[in-house]
Amino acid sequence: MTRPVTIALDAMGGDHGPSVVIPGAAITLERRPDARFVIFGNEAEIAPLLDAHPKLKAVTTFHHTEVSVKMDDKPSQALRYGRYKSSMWRAIDATKTGEADVTVSAGNTGALMAMSRFCLKSMPQVDRPAIACLWPTVRGESVVLDVGATIGADAQHLVDLAVMGAAMARVVFDLDRPSVGLLNVGVEEIKGVEAVKEAGRILRESNLPHLDYHGFVEGDDLGKGTVDVVVTEGFTGNIALKTAEGTAKQIGEYLRAAMGRSLMSKIGYLLARGAFAALKDKMDPRKVNGGVFLGLEGIVIKSHGGTDAVGFASATELGYEMARENLMAKVREMVAATARPSAAPAVPQVAAGE
């Protein structure tokens, strides 16, 4: 894509709404000067914030909306009252109509997925979309999916996840054949539930283009960066994500407590504060904020609802990169090249919480 990237923003989504979304967009514009924005939300709240960021205002088209989806709304409830008139729906629809190249929202995960599926529809051959995120590792980053779109998966859905995750890794990491692993309880082929073992067999035998199947990986491989793409179903993936976030906070609290325990530890902290600053920066969850909805006929990015402007900017920039590097074309190419053998009936879809 050579023209400017236009980003549709649901300004009312998340725990903090426009007070985070607008400054976050301003940060993105500083880093991506060719970005353009279409913002949806309540004019009374947004207009003063846009006035405080004149550069952002100059490249923004604003649409007033009366309705916003609440963080505790059920997806069906949000669809009933928010379809066609909420800031969330209007932002998604902007991507569908071509007014924007990508949609970013920090709103209710279940509602955002339900509205995205209803408005954009799923790609041909993709039964259920997934949420993919960037996962910090000792080697850099990996793509992990699904981290909460649906609970349960048959073998074919896991294969679809592998293909879509590899397409995202090609965009993010500039790799021709990203390595892909299936998350399992062991690396031996005899271990795991039948769906995972069958998905492994399909991936081994298919020799798919633009995808290097590594085999099974375990939980500790997530942090090691053993593969470029880790595939699992949404229940396990969401638990893994929340466990990693909680562990990072726990380690941070341990370090703060240890550094203030005695005079010597305080002196040690002063001597090593550069190293601690680098560690804090590496563990900052705001830098990898943003989940990509894969498998839809359009790009939607889910920001963490409780993030600040810096974190929201990370999600917005992720969306910018996905649009700039033609994620949709790469996903379509790889899905079209994937043979789909007959599989067991799909597990009923259930949206996982944020």
HEC readout, 290-346: CEEEECECCCEEECCCCCCHHHHHHHHHHHHHHHHCCHHHHHHHHHHCCCCCCCCCC
The answer to whether 123 and 90 are in contact (CB under 8 A) is no
Q: What pLDDT is recorded for position 342? A: 44
CA distance 193 to 198: 9
Q: What pLDDT is recorded for position 275? A: 67
Angle, CA 27 vertex, CA 149 and CA 139 arms, to 5°: 55
Smallest CA-to-CA distance from 70 within 59, 84, 58, 81 is with 81
pLDDT, the chain, mean: 87
Q: What pLDDT is recorded for position 345? A: 43
Smallest CA-to-CA distance from 179 within 153, 143, 154 is with 143
Exposed, middle or buried by CB within 10 Å (0-12, 13-18, 19+), for 17?
Answer: buried
CA distance 89 to 12: 11
- Of 350 and 193, more confident: 193
The answer to whether 327 and 165 are in contact (CB under 8 A) is no
Q: Which long-range contacts (CB under 8 A, 24 or more apart) does 184-191 make?
A: 184/216, 184/217, 184/218, 185/218, 186/216, 186/218, 187/215, 187/216, 187/217, 187/218, 188/216, 189/215, 189/216, 191/216
User: pLDDT-based confidence at 111, cuts 50/70/90?
Assistant: very high
Segments in 32-147 forming alpha helices (H) = 43-51, 54-58, 75-82, 87-97, 109-120
Mean pLDDT of 318-335: 87
Q: Residue 52: phi, psi to the nearest 5? A: -80, -10
Is residue 330 pLDDT above 90, yes or no?
A: no
How many residues in the chain? 354
The answer to whether 178 and 229 are in contact (CB under 8 A) is yes
Q: Are strands 179-183 and 229-231 parallel, antiparallel or unpaired?
A: parallel
Which residue is listed with tokens 């943003």?
290
Q: Residue 59: phi, psi to the nearest 5? A: -115, 20
Mean pLDDT of 102-112: 94
Q: What pLDDT is recorded for position 346? A: 43
**What sign for the dihedral angle of Cα 348, 305, 96, 237?**
negative
**Which region among 101-115, 133-147, 199-213, 235-249 has the lowest average model confidence (pLDDT)?**
235-249
User: pLDDT-based confidence at 252, cuts 50/70/90?
Assistant: confident
The model's pLDDT over 271-307, given as tens digits with 9 standing for 90+, comes to 676 766 666 666 667 777 889 999 999 999 999 998 9
CA distance 175 to 28: 25
The answer to whether 113 and 130 are in contact (CB under 8 A) is no
Angle, CA 37 vertex, CA 31 and CA 40 arms, to 5°: 135
- Of 45 and 332, more confident: 45
Is residue 18 pLDDT above 80, yes or no?
A: yes
Which residue is listed with tokens 């009366």?
66
Is residue 317 pLDDT above 90, yes or no?
A: yes
Exposed, middle or buried by CB within 10 Å (0-12, 13-18, 19+), for 98?
Answer: exposed
For 130-289+340-354, which CATH superfamily applies?
Isopropylmalate Dehydrogenase (3.40.718.10)
Chain centre distance of CA 301: 6
The answer to whether 6 and 36 are in contact (CB under 8 A) is yes
